Amino acid sequence: MIKIDNLSFKYGKKEVLNDISMKLEAGKIYGLLGENGVGKTTLLKIISGLQKPWKGSCSVFGEDPFKRTPSFLSRIFYLPEELEFIQNDCSIRYFAKINAPFYPKFNKEKFETILKEFEVEGDKKLNKLSYGQVKKAALSFAIATNAELLLLDEPSNGLDIPSKTLFRRIIVQYVSDSTCTLISTHQVRDLENLIDPIIILDNKAVLMNASLEEISEKLYFGLYSSVPSNALYWEPAPGGYICVMENDDLGESKVNIEALFNTTMHHKSRIKELLA
Amino acid sequence: MNNNIFQFNRVGKLFRRTFQQNSKTFLNNTLVLAGLPILFLLIARLTSNEVPSLLFRSNFLAFTVGVIFIFSPFFYYFYNHPKKGLSEVMLPASVLEKFVVMQMVCMISAPLMVLVFLGGSDALITALFPKYQDGYAIAHFFNNRLTTDGVLLAFLSLQAVFFANLFFVRRKILKSIASFLVINFLISIIILVIIKVMESRGYFDAVSCNMSVQLNDRGPFEFYAGDNALTMFVMTLRIFMGIVLPILFMIGSYRLMKTNRY
């Protein structure tokens, strides 16, 4: 569905992405992780056609996204982190009424159901709602478009704890099985039990693009009372230390995304060798 | 035609969306426009027992049509805003369709709104209260104010503002005005230099220099064999400023819409 080959991108002279390659498939919820400023948003903008690569190529549904053809735009939905584009003097229901005709697969019933589950006041003006409410309203519309590619930039920002739980459930329940969802975040805990595969981005490379199964084959996550000598990364936790080690016949373990991210940041080249 | 380039169905949807999205603004504007002739009549009656003259009303109508026509592209003020513009750029329609709808809103809907509501209200007052108000401003406007050069100048201004609105991202109005002043100054200098060069080479003989150039009754492409050099020059300049330059601005605006990054 998405094919990125040797893609580089610059803002002026500042290189943001350098020689990035990856493939993304339909029917998966990808987590795009990375520190602030590594180019997660830029990558989403390139995929959605808002930016053009400096070098290399990005192809979505076999098309160049930057051409922004109607058929391409009707198959994707990009929800940016900042929602100024939607904060108008109208309600989310009115917004949906005037914009839905452009999305052939828009499902009004689904939209109303998600709005209800998120407890969003559908008739209240968007510029009168709190940031979290606007985010939930925008998410409801985005999911209801039934787009084949859903690009969500920091979707859990501004959501309270119950809403974050609800957000994960709604994504799992209402996003179509054939949709490719790409969620960018630096708040990795918010997406625990939701994202699979995981992409970890660094300024200069894709450090990881692997499924949870592949990660647990290569890395072992365990709670130890003392830090083993072969641990790549450890951090104190109630009851001992969460340790991450290369998986040399240690068996399967549940991937701790935060520990995985920190391990990757500390051992970039080794993790890249194992999982890129 | 290719489905991804132009479809009347999508153009219709874009039009509907534009009016639905801005229904309050349109309603407010129409109410203000329709109310202005009544206000003028009331002020005139209360202050001086006189009625607003046909010339004044016609001039005011021409001024309002001109201002709304020229500045209507700022209606799409946020089109290229890095955040607010996403609702437009990511809308599933082609750039050509969006461009056509924007041009039609600016060139047709905006001036039509003024003519219908301001001109219509004025005409209604004249029809209903002939003893208070004489003549129709809209008829006077079409008969006396709508000249070829006026239309060409308005078209050039509209396309220049349209382009500037897409070219500048922030402080658009200020930057547009400043750049127009600079460009106007430069064009004047260039024209002056050309005239001086032509004069030094003897293109304008004593007779033609004393002739006045009357073009208002001519169409933009009406050249005659007996035209003197000055007339030819002014006619050429007129085509460049009234037709070539606006078309270049239109092409530029379309390119900006197509290649703008967010």
Position A268, amino acid? K
What confidence tens digit (pLDDT) does each residue in B87-106 have?
999 999 999 999 999 999 99
B162's tokens: 């349209």
- Does residue B176 carry a pLDDT above 90? yes
Confidence tier at B213 by pLDDT (50, 70, 90): low
Q: CB of A225 within 8 Å of any CB in chain B?
A: no
What confidence tens digit (pLDDT) does each residue in B117-145 have?
999 999 999 999 888 888 999 999 999 88
The C-alpha atoms of residue B249 and residue A177 are separated, in whole angstroms, by 46
Residue A125 is classified by DSSP as B
The structure's pTM equals 0.90
Report ipTM for this prediction. 0.90
User: Pairing mode, if any, of strands A205-210 and A198-202?
Assistant: antiparallel
- Does residue A70 carry a pLDDT above 90? yes
What confidence tens digit (pLDDT) does each residue in A204-256 have?
789 999 999 999 999 999 999 999 999 999 999 999 999 999 998 888 899 99
For A254-273, what is the mean pLDDT?
Answer: 93
pLDDT at B77: 94
3-state secondary structure of B74: helix
The C-alpha atoms of residue A76 and residue A182 are separated, in whole angstroms, by 11
Q: Which residues, at least 6 apart from A217, have a Cβ–Cβ distance to it below 8 Å?
A: A247
Beta bridge partners of A7: A20
pLDDT at A192: 85
For A3-9, what is the mean pLDDT?
Answer: 96
| A150 Ramachandran zone, left/alpha/beta (phi>0; psi -120 to 50) | beta
For A126-148, what is the mean pLDDT?
Answer: 96
- Does residue B206 carry a pLDDT above 60? no
Neighbours of B66 (CB within 10 A): 18
A123's tokens: 């008739």
What confidence tens digit (pLDDT) does each residue in B28-45 have?
999 999 999 999 989 888
Q: CB of A98 within 8 Å of any CB in chain B?
A: yes
What confidence tens digit (pLDDT) does each residue in B43-52 have?
888 887 777 8
**Which chain B residues have a beta carbon less than 8 Å from that of A62?**
none
What confidence tens digit (pLDDT) does each residue in B50-69 have?
778 999 999 999 999 999 99
pLDDT at B49: 74
The C-alpha atoms of residue A269 and residue A147 are separated, in whole angstroms, by 36
pLDDT at B46: 86
**Which chain B residues have a beta carbon less than 8 Å from that of A48?**
90
- Does residue A36 carry a pLDDT above 50? yes
- Does residue B211 carry a pLDDT above 80? no
- Does residue B152 carry a pLDDT above 70? yes
- Does residue B230 carry a pLDDT above 90? no
Judge: B3–A97 Cβ closer than 8 Å, yes or no: no
The C-alpha atoms of residue A262 and residue A243 are separated, in whole angstroms, by 11
For B187-213, what is the mean pLDDT?
Answer: 77
Chain A residue with minimum CA distance to B84:
A85
The C-alpha atoms of residue A161 and residue A167 are separated, in whole angstroms, by 10
The C-alpha atoms of residue B247 and residue B70 are separated, in whole angstroms, by 15
The C-alpha atoms of residue B47 and residue A205 are separated, in whole angstroms, by 76
pLDDT at B64: 96
Position B188, amino acid? S
Residue that wins the pLDDT comparison between A167 and B230: A167
3-state secondary structure of A194: coil
The C-alpha atoms of residue A31 and residue A181 are separated, in whole angstroms, by 8
**Which chain A residues have a beta carbon less than 8 Å from that of B23?**
none
Q: CA of A38 to nearest chain B CA: how many angstroms apart? A: 18
Lowest mean pLDDT among A34-43, B158-167, B221-230: B221-230
pLDDT at A65: 97
Burial class (CB in 10 A: 0-12, 13-18, 19+), B200: exposed
pLDDT at B1: 46
Chain B residue with minimum CA distance to A138:
B87
Chain A residue with minimum CA distance to B91:
A73
Question: How confident is the prediction for chain A on average, in pLDDT?
Answer: 94
The C-alpha atoms of residue B205 and residue A150 are separated, in whole angstroms, by 72
- Does residue B19 carry a pLDDT above 90? yes
Judge: B83–A86 Cβ closer than 8 Å, yes or no: no
A30: closest CA among A205, A257, A263, A267?
A: A257
